[in-house]
Structure 1
Amino acid sequence: MASVLSISLLSEAEFGCEHLGALLKQDGGTAEQFKSAFIKTHNALGAFPKSTETAKNGRLRAKGFLKPKYTCLTCSETMALGDRKAHSEKTDHQFFMDSRARTLYCHLCDDFVYDHHLERLRCSTAESALEVAKKRRFSDSSADELYIRSNATKRPCAKQGVRGLFNLGQTCYLNVILQTLLHDPILNTYFLGSGHQPHDCTAPDCIGCAVAEAFADFNSSDRPEGFAALNLLLASWRSSPALAGYQQQDAHEYYQFLVDKLHSSAEGHREGHEKGCPCFFHKTFYGKLRSSVTCDKCGNVTRTDDPMVDLSLDVQVQAKKRAMGGIGASSTPTLRGCLESFTSPEKLMAGVYSCSHCGGAAQKATKQLRIRKLPAILCMQLKRFEHTFSVSEKLEGKIDFPLSINMLPYTTRPHAKVDRTRFMYDLSSAVVHKGKLDAGHYYVYCRQGDEWVLFNDDQVTPVTEADVLNADAYLLFYNLRSLASAPQ
């Protein structure tokens, strides 16, 4: 491992990129003019928050909030992402500062660059930044330089704690789903790595950009206070009129919406799920569900495979199936019992099924659902809301669920001689709904490393495994234990 001194010397010798290094080495005041423009633009962007206004109906909206603007450090012209390239080709100006994070962009590198000389200017006071840069150099013994050296090998975006999400007005449904995504290791690897890049995306109201920005905000600071996912809320409103406004929404429906929009935002995605899709989100969230219908008269089997993004499990289904000739009801509702009921044979009512082998005549039949392909992130909904023509009600009560579960028994090959550990899933989050159908509140338990944390909007509380397992869960999120041996 390189020594602290060698790291310090290396950082002193290098610039953010070769183009920036060549500019800062120029004589005749060019370098000082660039530094002056850098600080002036930096302070100007910091002085004016993103433009927002309140519409006549009282809702918050933003002007150009989801897309950054870029200020040329040579001529101070401000432009959108799509105009940046044309400006550089026309004027030969190469350096820009984006309006959100105030980071430096090099057109020749086609990337954002970090330079420790300019960072020192940024960290100084606005009024004396240039004077400090000219008159004072950090000494080897100064406290801030020692701190930088001693932490040089640490990830600057390393999260020291956990952060809640502010409720922006009946947005707890969004907060619990976003917290679930933020604490998923698969999604962290994607969004904090080389996944969706907002600065390269030109799609309007892109959900992928909004989620990527939420990951960056959540992981960019060790501050314990919460933050607001306003970009994601606005993008969701604009993408779905049904979500717009401050009425309560269903967290399960929002999860389905979010996954669909993330899939659409992925480069190279395919709209038709029947042909399969190579994109990251399809491989992560989508599985396949097989429906098999067997004619009771001739034994003909009709199979249909459909994409699935979650499993909706009826906690009262045992009693319903018993009444229709299925399995018996369980006295204690459990997740395994719900899965067994979901994948057990079910007698179809007479006249529902027409058998092609019987000349198209209506026949009695047996239907069975099985999982054809499992996703890496498996969401299971415990259906607590029941709607009929006369009444809508919520089922209260505890439903037992495990910290780990083997999904092989619920697949199309439940008795196959395979490595059963390939089908092991571990609980990552549990979403709870409290209250009535139209006046409830969501909160979520998330796994943080080896610990569990309760997120109730911006309130964050450490909890035990027993607290999680005692929760009246509505949504359960399980992660495939070993991605290397994932079943195909």
Structure 2
Amino acid sequence: MPKSSSDTSDSSHESDSPRKRVVSGPDDAMDLDDLSPAMVAVTCEHVQGLEHSTDMLPKYQKTLKWHSSFNSLRGPRLKRQKMQPPVCSSCKIPLRRPAVCLQCRFIGCWTREHVQSHMRESGHTLAVDLITGSIYCAACNAFEPAPLSLESKALPTFANKEEDSRKHKRLTYKSWQPNVIEKTALSSANTIPCEVRRGFLNLGATCYMSVILQAFLHNPLLRNFFLSDKHNSKLCGKLYCMCCELDQMFADVFNPSSTQNVDSGAGLSVGPLSLLRTTWQNSNDMAGYAQHDAHEFFITVLNQLHSGSADATHGSSCTCVVHQIFAGQLQSDVKCGKCGHINPTIDPMLDISLELKGVPNGKMPTLASCLRRFTEKETLPANAYVCSNCNSSTSEATKQLSIRKLPPVLCIQLKRFEHKSSAAKIDTPVKFPGIINMSPYTTAAIGMQVREGKVPKLDPATTYDYELFAVVNHEGQLNTGHYTNFARSQNEWYRFDDEKVTHTTLRECLQSIPYMCFYVKRNLDYGAASNAVPASMGPPPSAPSVANGPPVAAPAPVQPTSMKDISIVSKSTDADDSDTDSQTSEQ
């Protein structure tokens, strides 16, 4: 079939050429739209025999009906169904004007002459232009209009859906009101919870692992990452991959068919044997059936998650799941006591460790007061700092820490274990809030307070609000203790003691003695740097970013050469603990 000048375009999609035409020879073409009914009489004997064919006629009608799902000739355009357009069987280009062989299932394009090539190679004769319904005869090398009797059978196929669409009216919404029988059935029915709460089997002094895994399960950002198939364990070929282990754990726990107890909403316990084996294979320090520190296990798993992520890097802009969720930045400002020069240093962090040593007896410290002591100025020892500006070493140099970039999920550890000449545990209770505002501890707030000498007001305040979702507790002595934890699930609180799960309240959680607290940012910013933070509560998993105030929102997470360098950030405290929390929420 000859091509018009527009057919020579080599675009990525099928162009709207060729036009509808009758071809009597290689160089003779006329537009079908310009012809009268008398002029378009069928002259091809192959097309004339189509209307009497018991095999070809049904194929012709089914082909036009199938294409009506994508396009139509008459009336207003329907709302397109969510279907991919047909593609050429040869070049795989999406077709705006497809042609279908009536003797097989071949779909091809006109512009690249794949239809003609197919018919020459296969010996097939007839193909249909799905836009016009006209028929191409390869034997005559001509387009022919469909016979009138055939067209009368095919036309309703195009118009049926549009006619039904015009007749169909949107139903008026009516709320369901149960009748007497339905009310009786509902009152006696068992309530099936939407989410299964499952504990973890103790595999031999593995309570430290159970509490961290529960914190991971109830982390909304980490949960959304794995449940949205960001890492598929069935497609990953790595051996002893921690990402695969967590992917399988989330799939097992959130599988509604995982032997759920209908009455209590609790499922059978999970035995994380494979995850434990993977931890041992990747970390010699954690290998063996011995009691380990929960915080140490937390950092170990984060390291292994980072190593197993496909997009992990060792640069300053790592976008692996660990840095998207847990990574923040600390700023350390060292001020020379002689010339006043300030030397700032920015370090990455995955969590914050707060000292409890030095708290006055008889006073209950608060999490807010511990954070204030963490960000207070401290005097450096003599000759510990040499100023880069005046090259002097003075005993009056001061150092002050502040949080330059807040992470989406904030993990705070209270350092209760001492390992000096003899191991000891600090059992001092710490009052912690259900909601905490982190703005007073940011670099922007502390810098403003230093410059202006007053408490700064940062807007909006809700940008810095964090909400508690998990707490890890340690009971007993250092070497003979036991880990338990609290976690929030769908605004309900539960206490997890290995495989035992009990319903509780936020008030009971806040009255416990915390070892680790997990907070999630209440408001996430889906702004310009959209690749910094994963989606969490509402939007589909894409990649939101977190803004921490005008001066500190821009910096991206920083990844050091070794993640072990950023596992613990702490500071000694000797200040008074009389302050109260900035904000507390209880049930």
TM-score, normalised with respect to structure 1: 0.63
The aligned amino acid for 1:397 is T
Structure 1 residue 416: deviation in Å? 5.6
The aligned amino acid for 1:484 is D
Larger radius of gyration: 2
Structure 1 residue 379: deviation in Å? 0.4
**CA shift digits 1:188-217 (9 cap, x unpaired):** 111011211112212221111111111111
1:479 to 512, 520, 539: 520
1:210 to 225, 230, 245: 245
- Cα pair 2:259 2:268 within 8 Å, conserved: no
1:262 to 305, 309, 323: 305
What secondary structure does 1:316 align onto?
coil
The aligned amino acid for 1:372 is R
Matched residue, 1:453: 494
- Cα pair 2:196 2:254 within 8 Å, conserved: no
1:201 to 217, 236, 245: 236
2:218 to 183, 187, 192: 183
**CA shift digits 1:315-371 (9 cap, x unpaired):** 23566xxxxxxxxx9932110000000011111111111112222535431111101
Cα 1:366/1:330, change in 2 over 3 Å? farther
Cα 1:204/1:159, change in 2 over 3 Å? farther
What secondary structure does 1:468 align onto?
helix
Structure 1 residue 270: deviation in Å? 0.8
Rounded to whole Å, the distance in 1 between the matches of 2:354 and 2:362 is 14
2:442 to 388, 394, 411: 411
What secondary structure does 2:329 align onto?
strand
Structure 1 residue 435: deviation in Å? 1.2
- Cα pair 1:292 1:369 within 8 Å, conserved: yes
Identity of aligned residues (%): 41
Structure 1 residue 222: deviation in Å? 5.4
Rounded to whole Å, the distance in 1 between the matches of 2:276 and 2:223 is 20
- Cα pair 1:454 1:460 within 8 Å, conserved: yes
1:387 to 414, 419, 436: 419
Rounded to whole Å, the distance in 1 between the matches of 2:371 and 2:195 is 38
Runs (5+) with no aligned partner, structure 2:
1-192, 261-266, 446-455, 527-545, 548-552, 554-587
Cα 1:362/1:204, change in 2 over 3 Å? farther
Rounded to whole Å, the distance in 2 between the matches of 1:367 and 1:241 is 36
Rounded to whole Å, the distance in 1 between the matches of 2:285 and 2:276 is 13
- Cα pair 1:161 1:222 within 8 Å, conserved: no
Rounded to whole Å, the distance in 2 between the matches of 1:159 and 1:222 is 14
The aligned amino acid for 1:162 is R
**CA shift digits 1:393-436 (9 cap, x unpaired):** 10113210000000111010113632110110000000000111
User: Where do 4+ consecutive residues of structure 1 move more than 3 Å?
Assistant: 360-363
What secondary structure does 1:298 align onto?
coil
**CA shift digits 1:108-150 (9 cap, x unpaired):** xxxxxxxxxxxxxxxxxxxxxxxxxxxxxxxxxxxxxxxxxxx
Rounded to whole Å, the distance in 1 between the matches of 2:409 and 2:338 is 39
RCO comparison, higher one (Cα < 8 Å, 6+): 2
Matched residue, 1:303: 344
Rounded to whole Å, the distance in 2 between the matches of 1:428 and 1:199 is 30
Would you say 1:344 and 2:376 are equivalent positions?
yes
Would you say 1:162 and 2:194 are equivalent positions?
no
Structure 1 residue 296: deviation in Å? 0.9
- Cα pair 1:259 1:285 within 8 Å, conserved: no
The aligned amino acid for 1:298 is C
The aligned amino acid for 1:347 is T
The aligned amino acid for 2:440 is P
What secondary structure does 2:348 align onto?
strand
The aligned amino acid for 2:246 is V
- Cα pair 2:382 2:394 within 8 Å, conserved: yes
The aligned amino acid for 1:378 is L
What secondary structure does 2:340 align onto?
coil
Matched residue, 1:118: none
Would you say 1:399 and 2:430 are equivalent positions?
yes
Matched residue, 1:243: 286
Higher share of residues assigned helix: 1
What secondary structure does 2:338 align onto?
coil
The aligned amino acid for 2:254 is N
Rounded to whole Å, the distance in 2 between the matches of 1:317 and 1:205 is 43
TM-score, normalised with respect to structure 2: 0.53
Matched residue, 1:440: 481
Would you say 1:313 and 2:354 are equivalent positions?
yes
Rounded to whole Å, the distance in 2 between the matches of 1:257 and 1:318 is 30
1:463-478 equivalences under 5 Å are 463-478=504-519
**CA shift digits 1:7-28 (9 cap, x unpaired):** xxxxxxxxxxxxxxxxxxxxxx
Matched residue, 1:289: 330
- Cα pair 1:264 1:271 within 8 Å, conserved: no
Rounded to whole Å, the distance in 2 between the matches of 1:468 and 1:395 is 19
- Cα pair 1:171 1:248 within 8 Å, conserved: yes
Q: How many residues align?
A: 319
What secondary structure does 2:407 align onto?
coil
Cα 1:243/1:159, change in 2 over 3 Å? farther
- Cα pair 1:259 1:281 within 8 Å, conserved: yes
**CA shift digits 1:137-194 (9 cap, x unpaired):** xxxxxxxxxxxxxxxxxxxxx9532010000001111110001111111111110112
Structure 1 residue 276: deviation in Å? 2.1
Higher share of residues assigned strand: 1
Matched residue, 2:138: none
Matched residue, 2:399: 367
